[in-house]
Amino acid sequence: MRAMMFTVAILAICLANTAGAKDSTKVQWKAGVATSNITPEQPMWLAGYTERVMPAEGKLTDLWLKVIALEAADGRLGVVVTSDLLGIPRRMYDRLTRKIQERFGLSHSQVMFTCSHTHSGPVLQDAMIHFYPLDKRQHELIEQYSNNLERKIVSTIAEAIKNLQPATLAATTGETTFAVNRRNNPEENIVQMQEKGTPFVGPVDHSVPVLAVRDSSGKLMAILFGYACHCTTFKASGWFGDYAGLAEAILQKEHPGCVAMFWQGCGADQNPLPRRSLELCHKYGRMLADGVEEALQRPTRAIKPSLKTAFEFVELDFQDVQTREQLEADLKNEAPYLVRRAKWLLEQLDREKEFSKSYQYPVQVWKLGDNQLWVALGGEVSVEYALKVKELFGADAWITGYANDVMAYIPSDQIQEEGGYESAAFNIFGLPAQGWVPGVQQRVIETVQKLASEAGMPEKTPVAIADSEKPVDTPHLVFLITEDRFNYEAHKTIPPFAKMLCEKYGLKCTVLQGEGKPGKARFPNLEILKDADLLIIFFRRRALSPKQLGLIRDYLKAGKPLVGIRTANHAFAVRGEVAEGHQNWLEFVPEVLGCKNRGYGPRKAGADVDVAPDAANHPILKGVSPLKWHSDGQLYLIKPLVDTRAAVLLTGSLEDKVEPVAWTRMNGQSRVFYTSLGYPGDFELEQFRRLLVNAIFWSLDRSPSENKQAGSGQ
């Protein structure tokens, strides 16, 4: 009996150890959320406009401070603070980072302070104090509020950390279009331009980055989202979160129990236009919330539980540092805020004897999971910074402006060269100079590149990989892709796939990445199609010039083959404006691919892939194993096919829907293969990669063994 009990005990210990080992391998994020109402209780002065002549009168909405703590599998912690404020001033930021370091052991790199940049929040201590006509009582209220705010920020961070629980993180991107480049589109002309259908000009960033945080049951805990546009829709006389606060409220109502957290993007030169009415503010709040909802309905990118953070203060040099004589002359200026600025700076000069010649500018970089880059830049950052970071690191990068310290406008090279309000506006912010020394953009972007490298985030992979040293008779494949955040990351999946075809199958591959907006797009060096043996299309909704469309049509008229992947079934169908000199090609889908784009299946992402009846022996399915698998991509509605003679190879099923997901057909003398698969997760599957390899060689009317190099092939 004792021997049996001993055996049972040993077995129990072994089972417990086994279970423990199993649990230890299940790594995941932890997330904790906390919020605090920061609506002032006293009639303080509103920040953002010099035209105001009295303190706040009541409120339109409450103002909120929201914190999310994210803990990676190795225990590294990152904290994001969002706030309905114009911005965090430098001295407050310095005090907060010291307190957070002492209490939580978190460095500058691990805490990201963001704001909505609402112009209907409270004035803070040391933040453009000279800008407003403040009496002694207002100064006292501002100091009291600011001190309380600092304590509230620290305590809310503590609560978020205390609330840590198992969670999953996923990234996605939406879009909304009310931001307009205010430097290139005069506000007084906006309504007339809209009525005439005149397109707005100038750089913009209409993307809506979204981070979805869910608890262990799959319920949304938090939604973090951003947009690059001033929160200046309505000049309220009371506290108001503007369009961003309204969007948060809408999302929280539609997702009970979820905390919606907005951060401002690089919107220094972006305004919500037209504006100046509460009705428009509600409209833009709804548009932004809809952009988030639309993104959440798309397939999301799961983020692995790892976090790398980096931070640096980069020295930005002042141009034309103010002298005592200049400031004393400003004491006689007709603009009251310039007189106040002069007095404020003269007091500073008396204390410190001389002004600094530069500014310590904060640059912060996070890498979440394997490849989600998040850049946080201080100051009022112009939109070109976001566009440049995306050019370097891909369209999925997130770029937050107004982060950690809002000290001045941060102009692009072009804005510095052109001049104008956003090139400096140092008089507004109270810095002791007239502007920045030229070259700000280069210094900031170089620092972003350096920190991203430290965090292990590589820059975008080059896509032109043609090998001119291949034999003359080597089949030449030309891939057409775009870097489109709705295009299932073709810019990430196709280059390594093409490289594999070159190295392991001896093929010659060229990947051409499209440029320009959907309604005015082009592919560089598209003339190369004249020498191509196979065209592979994986892009969506691009209108090309007649010349470029002619190159593709001529290629097909010559009887050459084509492979279409995923979004090829709406490659040439632009929704919205098509620029003059560019065209849709709606006939491409029925005439070349032999199908009709009938939309999406159930909103739930994923489909079970299976071999079609009588298709198992088709050469494209040779070596594809298993022939049944699960794809994460949303199911496209295809049937009935336009070409009733097409050979369906694979089907996808979800709920009550069963649709063709891969088939072959003939377009005249051209062999055509199309698959609606192609989600990033599909490219991770050996059977999907084998399917594409076989389809490529079937299209070329060759066998993979004819080109396979020494090595293992797939």
> Is 46 in the same domain as 193?
yes
> Is 255 in the same domain as 336?
no
In single-letter form, the type of residue at position 599 comes to G
pLDDT tens-digit map of 509-520: 999 988 888 899
Contacts of 202 by beta carbon, 8 Å cutoff, 6+ apart = 180, 181, 183, 184, 185, 269
Q: Supply the pLDDT for residue 184.
A: 93
The residue ranges of DSSP E strands in 3-71, in sequence order, are 29-37, 64-71
Q: How far apart are CA 254 and CA 502, in angstroms?
A: 49
Q: Check residues 69 and 335 and name the one with the higher pLDDT.
A: 69
Contacts of 240 by beta carbon, 8 Å cutoff, 6+ apart = 59, 60, 61, 118, 120, 234
Identify the H or E element spanning 537. Answer: strand 534-538
Domain span at 351: 322-356
Q: How far apart are CA 26 and CA 697, in angstroms?
A: 41
Is 538 in a helix, a strand, or coil? Answer: strand
Is residue 377 assigned to a domain? no
Cα three-residue angle 442-443-446, rounded to 5 degrees: 80
Q: Supply the pLDDT for residue 430.
A: 86
- On whether the CB atoms of residues 362 and 313 are closer than 8 A, the answer is yes
Is residue 254 assigned to a domain? yes
Q: Check residues 651 and 484 and name the one with the higher pLDDT.
A: 651
Enter the tokens of residue 217: 């049951």
| Residue that the structure tokens 């990152």 belong to | 78
In single-letter form, the type of residue at position 164 comes to L
> Is 498 in the same domain as 603?
yes
- On whether the CB atoms of residues 661 and 676 are closer than 8 A, the answer is yes
Is residue 161 assigned to a domain? yes
Q: Supply the pLDDT for residue 541.
A: 93
Percent of the chain with pLDDT over 90: 77
> Is 285 in the same domain as 350?
no
- Using 50, 70 and 90 to split pLDDT, how confident is the model at 15? very low
Q: How far apart are CA 208 and CA 295, in angstroms?
A: 8
- On whether the CB atoms of residues 108 and 309 are closer than 8 A, the answer is no
| Residue that the structure tokens 């307009």 belong to | 180
Q: Supply the pLDDT for residue 298.
A: 86
Rg (CA), the chain: 29
- On whether the CB atoms of residues 435 and 415 are closer than 8 A, the answer is no
- On whether the CB atoms of residues 708 and 500 are closer than 8 A, the answer is no
Cis ω before 640 (30° cut-off from 0)? yes
- Using 50, 70 and 90 to split pLDDT, how confident is the model at 14? very low
Is residue 619 assigned to a domain? yes
The residue ranges of DSSP E strands in 72-164, in sequence order, are 77-83, 111-113
> Is 340 in the same domain as 200?
no
Q: How far apart are CA 126 and CA 362, in angstroms?
A: 18
HEC sequence for 611-627: ECCCCCCCHHHCCCCCC
Q: What sign for the dihedral angle of Cα 426, 431, 436, 442?
A: negative
Enter the tokens of residue 446: 């170089």
pLDDT(3) > 70: no
For residue 309, give the DSSP letter: E
Contacts of 170 by beta carbon, 8 Å cutoff, 6+ apart = 211, 212, 214, 300, 301, 302, 303
> Is 335 in the same domain as 292?
no
Q: How far apart are CA 73 and CA 136, in angstroms?
A: 51
Q: Of 106-110, 455-459, 518-522, 591-595, which range is least confident?
A: 455-459
Q: 17: how many CB neighbours lie within 10 A of its CB?
A: 10
**Helices marked H in 87-241 — which ranges?**
90-104, 136-162, 190-196
Contacts of 270 by beta carbon, 8 Å cutoff, 6+ apart = 179, 180, 181, 182, 204, 205, 228, 229, 230, 383
> Is 146 in the same domain as 228?
yes
> How many Å separate Cα 581 from the centre of its chain?
30
Enter the tokens of residue 140: 């006292």
> Is 339 in the same domain as 269?
no
Domain count, the chain: 3
pLDDT(360) > 80: yes
Identify the H or E element spanning 253. Answer: helix 242-254
User: Alpha carbon of 639 to those of 368, 592, 620, 627: distances in Å?
Assistant: 39, 16, 21, 21
Q: How far apart are CA 91 and CA 546, in angstroms?
A: 58
pLDDT(574) > 70: yes
Of 263, 300, 306, give the one whose Cα is nearest residue 78. 306
Q: 188: how many CB neighbours lie within 10 A of its CB?
A: 8
Identify the H or E element spanning 359. Answer: strand 358-368
Mean pLDDT of all residues belonging to the chain: 90
Q: How far apart are CA 283 and CA 367, in angstroms?
A: 34
Q: Supply the pLDDT for residue 244.
A: 98
Contacts of 457 by beta carbon, 8 Å cutoff, 6+ apart = 308, 365, 367, 371, 373, 393
> Is 526 in the same domain as 645?
yes
Question: In the predicted model, what is the mean pLDDT of residues 298-320?
Answer: 95
Q: Tell me the CA end-to-end span of the chain in Å, nearest whole number.
A: 58
Identify the H or E element spanning 358. Answer: strand 358-368
Q: Supply the pLDDT for residue 11.
A: 39
Is residue 637 assigned to a domain? yes
pLDDT(210) > 80: yes
User: Alpha carbon of 231 to those of 32, 268, 276, 300, 545: distances in Å?
Assistant: 27, 10, 11, 28, 38
Of 371, 667, 378, give the one whose Cα is nearest residue 492. 371
Provide the CATH number for the domain around residue 643. 3.40.50.880
pLDDT(21) > 90: no
> Is 293 in the same domain as 326?
no
Q: Check residues 104 and 528 and name the one with the higher pLDDT.
A: 104
- On whether the CB atoms of residues 646 and 599 are closer than 8 A, the answer is no
Is residue 139 assigned to a domain? yes
pLDDT tens-digit map of 230-258: 999 999 999 999 999 999 999 999 999 99
pLDDT(6) > 60: no
Contacts of 496 by beta carbon, 8 Å cutoff, 6+ apart = 461
Q: Supply the pLDDT for residue 634.
A: 84
> Is 188 in the same domain as 115?
yes
Query: How many CA atoms does the CB half-sphere of 486 hold within 13 Å?
Result: 19
Rounded to the nearest 5 percent, the helix, strand and coil shares of the chain are 35, 25, 40
Enter the tokens of residue 557: 């008229």
pLDDT tens-digit map of 135-190: 999 999 999 999 999 999 999 999 999 999 999 999 999 999 999 999 999 999 99
**Helices marked H in 395-539 — which ranges?**
413-418, 426-429, 440-454, 490-505
Q: Supply the pLDDT for residue 461.
A: 53
User: Alpha carbon of 360 to those of 225, 309, 312, 316: distances in Å?
Assistant: 28, 19, 9, 7
> Is 204 in the same domain as 337?
no
Question: In the predicted model, what is the mean pLDDT of residues 338-361?
Answer: 93
Cα three-residue angle 483-486-489, rounded to 5 degrees: 50
- Using 50, 70 and 90 to split pLDDT, how confident is the model at 633? confident
Q: 458: how many CB neighbours lie within 10 A of its CB?
A: 11
Q: Supply the pLDDT for residue 471.
A: 61
Of 397, 392, 407, give the one whose Cα is nearest residue 440. 407
Is residue 376 assigned to a domain? no
pLDDT(630) > 80: yes
Cα three-residue angle 496-205-266, rounded to 5 degrees: 105
**Dmax (CA) of the chain:** 102
Identify the H or E element spanning 166. Answer: strand 165-175
How large is the angle between the packed helices 278-297 and 242-254, nearest 10 degrees?
A: 50
pLDDT tens-digit map of 60-76: 999 999 999 999 999 99
Is residue 249 assigned to a domain? yes
